[in-house]
Structure 1
Amino acid sequence: MELRQLRYFLKARELLNFTEAARTLNISQSTLSQQIKQLEDELNVPLFNRIGKRITLTEAGNLFAQYALQSINKANEGLLLLQDLKNLNVGSITIGVIYSMRILFAKILVEFAKQYPKIKIQVVFGTTKDLLERLNLHQFDFILTFHEKPEGTELKYQSLLKANMVLVTAKKSPLAQRDNISLQEVADLPLALPFSGNNTIQFFEESFGQQNLVPNICMEINDIPTLFEIVKTGHWHTILSDTSVNDPEVVGIPIDGKNMRRTIMIISLREAYETKAVKKFYEMLGKM
């Protein structure tokens, strides 16, 4: 059963004349008759009584017309929905974001929402491990995270920007005036670090390990605002990307080393269809 056949049937029902219906549809009468006959054969019931050149609806045809009309209307609604989707008048995006990207991401989120107010946006913050797991379960359109080593061919990686890793300390701390600091010095400080599931701390554990350093980790906290509150006391310090430092009571001190710059990536499923809304979001992210 095809939508075309339903349209032919409904026009013939409206005009009760195959010749006039065919002319209105800009097809031959034989084509119209053939298509309606195929529809009747599929339904295994006649839709029209054919009396000479006259036609009338059968009882089955009259009942079927209601459902045929609903099908056509639903198809037209679907077409309008797709057009709205293409024109960014409808749709949704689900994005996973690492905690340290929340400040930069919020700026882009506000800009996108202002330009495309009819697009529903759902944002989930989490660790790289959690976000990747959920991405592979098709729960996100894309995620934003540090991820230096692409894994597998099912994921697509787009470099977004570089971020410097910094020691975050209280503005009142004696260290606050430093232009830079070594990883050795950082290892000797009392540290309150992001939760161990966080990709940033995993990166630093590897960095410390390469230099045979054992950092003095006193706390692990999975909330950056809470980390800032701890750091503001002046008793502890933390390590984050400079993209996450925006509190006026703390400062970020660049850590020496060629490996202290990391790449923030847009990661998506390679085979997944990307809507126009997702592509527009990519464009805005690229302007950061």
Structure 2
Amino acid sequence: MEIRQLQYFLVLCNELHFSEAAFKLGISQPTLSQQIRVLEDELGVPLFDRIGKKTFKTEAGNLLEHHAIQVIQQLENAKNAISDLTNLNTGHLRVAVLPSDLDYRLTSLLVDFHKEFPHTKVQVIPSIDILNKVLDNEVDIGVGLEIQLDHRLNCIPCYTETYSLYVNKEHALAEEDMIVAENLINIPIVMYPKGFYGRDLIDTWCTNQQISIDPIMETGSVTSLLQLVKEGIGATIQPSQLIDSFQSLDIRAISIKHSPTRKLEMFYRNDKYLSQSAQAFLKRMETFFASELM
């Protein structure tokens, strides 16, 4: 059994179509079929059922897929570890983060990280599907809301933060130190669209507080939301620490009693090799979030 054959097999598992898998691999369909037959002959069982024009994995195919993924991942880990040893501070780091507010706040961290690892290419990818991006190996590290325990992942808690009501300096509530949930009912609100983490969290909190809010305007950018606040279009509910990045807009963050909260954590696959630069990035993230709480 060769690594190349396992790679062919895994592509076919994903495509479940010989022609499309062969095209993706850059080989002919007869070549792919022949390599799959070699695997099946070696194992003594069929790996795929071919019914008409459709292809299905057999029980043996599902079992081999599970182990083949681990074999390919371990091989990739070995290559990355050796590359990390011989090419210190180089490589490619992919980090998925919550869109809008979190990716916006990481700029200072990225500047400092680049100074230490100038040859490491960093991609910060805003996403509302962070968990699957990590599990599917599309990114190396995810930074998002606390997730349920998963045996495939290592999780590092970052911190818990509250939310505040953001208003412009002329707003009737601008001088208040704290408000209660009921104060929000008749206030024009601008928010993220449904489906964004921040919006879904606020909607759930409102339900628990037995209130409802109906935003007069929705946008997926925190910058545009706070610009709308500055112009007096409405108020918004955002993470409390975000105000530090928008001091120049003359807006205020007012504490909310029993406010919405979110727990953030970093997570990555426990079967994936993390380069020295990736490990350094995780440590910097921990320090960054700890400083925001001070």
The interval holding the TM-score normalised by the smaller chain is 0.5 to 0.7
Q: Which residue of 2 aligns with 1:68?
A: none
Amino acid at match of 1:157: C
Q: Distance in 1 between matches of 2:154 and 2:124?
A: 20
Q: Which residue of 2 aligns with 1:265?
A: 265
Conserved? CA contact 1:188–1:216, under 8 Å: no
Q: Cα offset for 1:243?
A: 3.1
The TM-score normalised by the length of structure 1 is 0.66
Q: Distance in 2 between matches of 1:103 and 1:180?
A: 26
Partner of 1:217, secondary structure, is coil
Alignment size in residue pairs: 206
Q: Deviations over 1:78-118 (max 9, x none)?
A: 99844234x32x11100111121134311111100011101
Partner of 1:205, secondary structure, is helix
Q: Which residue of 2 aligns with 1:109?
A: 110
Alignment of 1:2-21 (within 5 A): none
Q: Distance in 2 between matches of 1:176 and 1:143?
A: 36
Change (3 A) 1:275 1:232: same
Conserved? CA contact 1:168–1:231, under 8 Å: yes
Unaligned runs of 5+ in 2: 1-79, 289-294
Amino acid at match of 1:171: K
Q: Which residue of 2 aligns with 1:139?
A: 138
Q: Deviations over 1:152-184 (max 9, x none)?
A: 332332111222201111122222211111122
Alignment of 1:92-103 (within 5 A): 92-98=92-98, 99-103=100-104
Alignment of 1:219-258 (within 5 A): 219-245=217-243, 246-247=245-246, 248-249=248-249, 250-257=251-258
State yes or no: 1:161 paired with 2:159. Answer: yes
Q: Distance in 2 between matches of 1:164 and 1:215?
A: 19
Amino acid at match of 2:139: F
Partner of 2:215, secondary structure, is strand
Q: Cα offset for 1:215?
A: 1.1
Partner of 1:273, secondary structure, is coil
State yes or no: 1:287 paired with 2:287. Answer: yes
Q: Which residue of 2 aligns with 1:17?
A: none
Change (3 A) 1:141 1:80: closer
Q: Distance in 2 between matches of 1:215 and 1:154?
A: 38
Q: Which residue of 1 aligns with 2:120?
A: 119
Unaligned runs of 5+ in 1: 1-77
Amino acid at match of 1:115: E
The structure with more radius of gyration: 1
Partner of 1:144, secondary structure, is strand
State yes or no: 1:84 paired with 2:86. Answer: yes
